[in-house]
Structure 1
Amino acid sequence: MRTTDLLTRLAKPAAALALVASAAVFAPAANAADGITAADVNPAAGTFSELSETNLTGAGDGTPAGAVAWYKAHAGSTGWEHYCEKAAENSYGVSGVWASANAHWNGASPKHTSGKPPAGSFVYWNISAYGHVGIADGNGGFYATSVGGKIGHGSSTSYFNNYRGWTPAAVPRR
């Protein structure tokens, strides 16, 4: 096809709409700039630790144990920075359910603002326009992105400021 023919086709509304729709599939997630800064971290409230390699069996298999295993398997990765919601969803073997951690918090239920979250539950912080989310370890700590600048483990949900609470461990769905 000649370039002029292609340009003529793209000028037609239906073709233009199809091009825009196909581009949207490849657009980055809405939380691509979650805006977590040093001011959002409360190091006195908890520590973070480097995680060693772990057994990958079950990682991302849709279970709470699989979600924790996914985070352990990705420990130290910086490739998930600014994609906390995507990481949380991927830990359960899904992607593209919620646009941001705030959207996940607002849409999920039941919400708990106190108590120790069970392993694999989602834990949330209100620290940016998009919020922040991770997965509870079941012992009062969590796994998430942005822990020491990468996927890591925090010993307390107070590691980040403005802890919101938690929602039960489950494959994310709307």
Structure 2
Amino acid sequence: MRNIFTKLCVAATIGAAALVAAPAAHAVGVTAADTHPEQATFTTAPAGEVSIQAAGDGTPAGAIQWYKNHLGSTGWQGLCEKAAENSYGVTGVWASANAHWNGASPKHTTGTPPAGSFVYWNISAYGHVGIADGSGGFYATSVGGAIGHGSSVSYFNNYRGWTPAAVPHQ
């Protein structure tokens, strides 16, 4: 009986790991020429600050927590829109960051984006999107080659602006 229980526990652990595994990387046009590395900071979440329950729960705080939980991950490289959507607990809403920018409203091109709002750049054929930290910085893919934190939206060239924090929908 104990052997069966052990096998079930191992199978459940492997299954759970498969559910949270990062998607495969796909290279999309964010290059070193598009970034200002001095505008990035890399942090790891101290023990006790990572909240799996809050991440991806459809709230601005949950979206930020999702990015904090994935700091350093390279699994979403080339999938910035998917990461932004996943941070709000959805996926497959917009085909790209450009499509999200073009379809979302209202658009703001000035001011400090509130925490959890979407921030956009026009730096590739698909654009780029991340989530604002509320202090003028953001979380996104392609920050130093991984999910990271930039202390200013000036980290990437061609900043477009922001749209309000909300679960992505068309």
User: In which range does the TM-score fall when normalised by the shorter chain?
Assistant: 0.7 to 0.9
1:40 correspondence with 2:37: no
With the length of structure 2 as denominator, give the TM-score of the two structures: 0.81
SS of corresponding position for 2:81: helix
Structure 1 segment 24-173 matched on structure 2, within 5 A = 32-44=26-38, 46-53=39-46, 54-56=49-51, 57-173=53-169
Q: How far apart are residue 34 of structure 1 and its match?
A: 2.5
SS of corresponding position for 1:62: coil
* Paired AA for residue 168 in structure 2: P
Q: Identity rate of aligned residues, in percent? A: 76
- Taking the aligned partners of 2:151 and 2:103, their CA distance within structure 1 comes to 27
CA displacement 1:51-88 (0-9 Å, x = unmatched):
32532231000000000000000111000100000000
CA displacement 1:107-139 (0-9 Å, x = unmatched):
000000000000000000000000000000000
With the length of structure 1 as denominator, give the TM-score of the two structures: 0.79
SS of corresponding position for 2:167: coil
- Taking the aligned partners of 2:134 and 2:36, their CA distance within structure 1 comes to 20
- Taking the aligned partners of 1:121 and 1:159, their CA distance within structure 2 comes to 17
Cα RMSD between the aligned structures?
1.8
**Number of corresponding residues:** 145
Q: How far apart are residue 48 of structure 1 and its match?
A: 2.3
* Paired AA for residue 52 in structure 1: A
* Paired AA for residue 69 in structure 1: Q
Instruction: Answer yes or no: is the 8 Å Cα contact 2:40–2:148 preserved in 1.
Output: no
Q: How far apart are residue 42 of structure 1 and its match?
A: 1.9
* Paired AA for residue 37 in structure 1: T
Instruction: Answer yes or no: is the 8 Å Cα contact 2:37–2:144 preserved in 1.
Output: no
* Paired AA for residue 41 in structure 1: T
Q: How far apart are residue 43 of structure 1 and its match?
A: 2.9
SS of corresponding position for 2:102: helix
- Taking the aligned partners of 1:154 and 1:35, their CA distance within structure 2 comes to 18
Q: How far apart are residue 102 of structure 1 and its match?
A: 0.2
- Taking the aligned partners of 2:41 and 2:125, their CA distance within structure 1 comes to 24
What does residue 12 of structure 2 align with?
none
